[in-house]
Amino acid sequence: MSKDLLNIIEAVANEKEVDRSVIIEALEAALAAATRKRYPDEEIGAKVVINPRTGEYKSFRLWTVVDDEAILENPDAEMRESVAAIEFPEAHLQVGDVHEVPIENEPFGRISAQQAKQIIIQKLREAERRKVYDQFIAEEGTLVHGIVRRHERGNVIVDINGAEATILRDGMIPRESLRIGDRIRGYLAKVNLEMRGPQLEVSRVAPEMLKQLFTLEVPEIGSGIIEIMGVARDPGLRAKIAVRTFDPRIDPVGACVGIRGSRVQGVMNELAGERIDIVLWDEDPETYVRKAMAPAQITNAAADEARRVMDIAVPENKLPQAVGRGGQNVRLASELTGWTINVLSEAEFEARQEAVQDAQEQALAEALDVDDEIADILIDAGYTAPEMVAYAERDELLGIEAFDEETVDALMARAADYLLQQAFVAEVEPEEEMQLPLENVEGIDEATIAALQENGLHTQEDLAELAVDELVAYTGLDKEQASALILKAREPWFRG
């Protein structure tokens, strides 16, 4: 029987072009499974070892040594340390050891042929997947060439150097017709060793594919003279790509376009005619957004750097062009620049800016306890937040025509006090903050504080626990004012 085993190993290894060790491992698993079936009433551990030179094999029953105090999860395959010391004293077993006890071999002829076949097929599949994985893992994230072989459940199967790759339905360019025998390029997005999902996953819609195609078409990109800073795609329809260079002698946009558009046309042909806008990258966000929004004519812009949101104004009759069909132009520009872009008419832009300035003015006036006129002067001079006033140079503030020394000193002192109060509140735990005096509640006036104190209410928590009607009765505030004040007092609870 040893010769039969060796013949099987050699035949299958040669036919499937896999290593002999894979077939041996599969046969060992099949023999071990057959051995376990010989003990129908037990769940034993079994192991079979085949000698690759002679074809002879040996079978073992496995015992795992566990702690004496442990609960035996499988008494047929586990043995406590004290028992192991009695049963196998010469082995000197310790917790965690697996002891192999020789048992009678299961004759090879009695193995279920179907079971052996299934195990061998499974091992072969694993070996083939490993072979493909080792072959392609270094190419993951690059362009690959393939030939369309068939369509399968909406996906396309492509032959890449003898291996099958899958272009999933959502990885195909919409409305692109791929016929059997077509030679195509794709971006090797994933090389998967697991059994779930396709092993080689190719995409024709990934932004990285556009980047790789330009790297092939434009030698200056491949050599590093020109750098691709961002890519955004609406596959098959339109794309935007941002480029830059540190060599003043080179026009990066012109280099990517090529003579008479030859380079960009080569990329477009590969992507089913996808129209490509090449944008010159700029470190200034507003300038970058203006270029990314081309051909839109932008007349004004305002950026919120904290939220990375930019409002842009365009003439009323140019709105459709700026937004693009289905919002395509603004969506791609947003994706390319990393900024959320709001396209507004000039009238809408002015109205929004006025609203923003009014809110900014009100917040600054409340923080510094000044009237709207002074807050407006500060904002016009570029001081839009209390911290900007607190850390400003005194001489710069004195340079504002409407301010004298007394006013400047008072503004800087109030700004410093406000920042100190904010820092103190931020460091205080919610429970401690709620025990602070009523003066700590933002927006509360002295008359309201006096009225509350007359009714035995002295802390922020006392105010937070009031009902709206109670606060109205104590202070004479209207319901809207009372509700807003109570919500302000409860803010530490929400933060906590």
* DSSP string of 389-431, one letter each residue: HHTS-HHHHHTSTT--HHHHHHHHHHHHHHHHHHHHHHHS-HH
Domain shared by 402 and 436, yes or no = no
Average the pLDDT over 255-272 and give the result: 93
Select from 383, 398, 427 the last residue of a domain: 427
Q: Which has more confidence, 7 or 473? A: 473
Lowest mean pLDDT among 18-32, 117-131, 389-403: 117-131
Dump pLDDT digits (tens) for 79-97: 999 999 999 999 899 999 9
Domain shared by 105 and 180, yes or no = no
- Distinct helix (H) and strand (E) counts, the chain: 21, 15
Domain for residue 178, yes or no?
yes
Domain shared by 148 and 183, yes or no = yes
Q: Which has more confidence, 259 or 53? A: 259
Select from 427, 444, 474 the last residue of a domain: 427
Domain shared by 85 and 163, yes or no = no
pTM above 0.75, yes or no: no
The pLDDT value recorded for residue 285 is 94
Cα–Cα distance for residue pair 352/346, rounded to 1 Å: 10
Domain for residue 265, yes or no?
no
Dump pLDDT digits (tens) for 182-204: 999 999 999 988 777 678 999 99
Give me the CATH number covering residue 375: 1.10.150.20
Domain shared by 68 and 3, yes or no = yes
The pLDDT value recorded for residue 327 is 92
The pLDDT value recorded for residue 232 is 96
Domain for residue 314, yes or no?
no
The pLDDT-based confidence of 29 (bands split at 50, 70, 90) is confident
Q: Which residues contact 399 (CB under 8 A, 6 or more apart)?
A: none
Cα–Cα distance for residue pair 350/304, rounded to 1 Å: 16
DSSP lists the bridge partners of residue 184 as 146
Domain for residue 251, yes or no?
no
Cα–Cα distance for residue pair 241/229, rounded to 1 Å: 8
Cα–Cα distance for residue pair 422/434, rounded to 1 Å: 15
| pLDDT at 173 > cutoff 80 | yes
Average the pLDDT over 168-187 and give the result: 92
Domain for residue 29, yes or no?
yes
Q: What is the DSSP letter of 188?
A: E
Phi, psi of 276 (to 5 degrees): -125, 125
Lowest mean pLDDT among 245-249, 263-267, 350-354: 350-354
The pLDDT value recorded for residue 425 is 60
The pLDDT value recorded for residue 253 is 95
Select from 187, 205, 223 the last residue of a domain: 205
Domain for residue 388, yes or no?
yes
DSSP lists the bridge partners of residue 244 as 227
The pLDDT value recorded for residue 195 is 72
Q: Are the C-beta atoms of 364 and 384 separated by less than 8 Å?
A: yes
Q: Encoding tokens for residue 147?
A: 């030939």
The pLDDT value recorded for residue 16 is 65
Q: Characterize the bridge pairing of strands 200-203 and 163-167.
A: parallel
Domain shared by 65 and 107, yes or no = yes
Average the pLDDT over 467-477 and give the result: 88
Most confident of 111-120, 406-415, 426-435: 406-415
| pLDDT at 429 > cutoff 70 | no
Q: CA nearest 185: which of 172, 199, 166, 204?
A: 204
Q: Encoding tokens for residue 60?
A: 């073992």
| pLDDT at 453 > cutoff 60 | yes
The pLDDT value recorded for residue 20 is 80
| pLDDT at 2 > cutoff 70 | no
**Amino acid letter, 415:** A
Give me the CATH number covering residue 11: 3.30.1480.10
Dump pLDDT digits (tens) for 352-370: 888 877 887 888 888 888 8
Range of the domain at 415: 369-427
The pLDDT value recorded for residue 323 is 92
The pLDDT value recorded for residue 261 is 93
**Residue listed under structure tokens 């090529």:** 258
Lowest mean pLDDT among 108-122, 373-387, 477-491: 108-122
Domain shared by 440 and 420, yes or no = no
Cα–Cα distance for residue pair 493/157, rounded to 1 Å: 57
The pLDDT value recorded for residue 343 is 93
Give the chain's domain count.
4
Domain for residue 338, yes or no?
no
Domain shared by 419 and 451, yes or no = no
Domain shared by 420 and 450, yes or no = no
**Mean pLDDT (the chain, rounded):** 87
Q: Which has more confidence, 206 or 2? A: 206
Q: Are the C-beta atoms of 202 and 186 separated by less than 8 Å?
A: yes
Q: Which has more confidence, 218 or 372? A: 218
Q: Which has more confidence, 161 or 434? A: 161
Q: Are the C-beta atoms of 390 and 419 separated by less than 8 Å?
A: yes
Domain for residue 23, yes or no?
yes
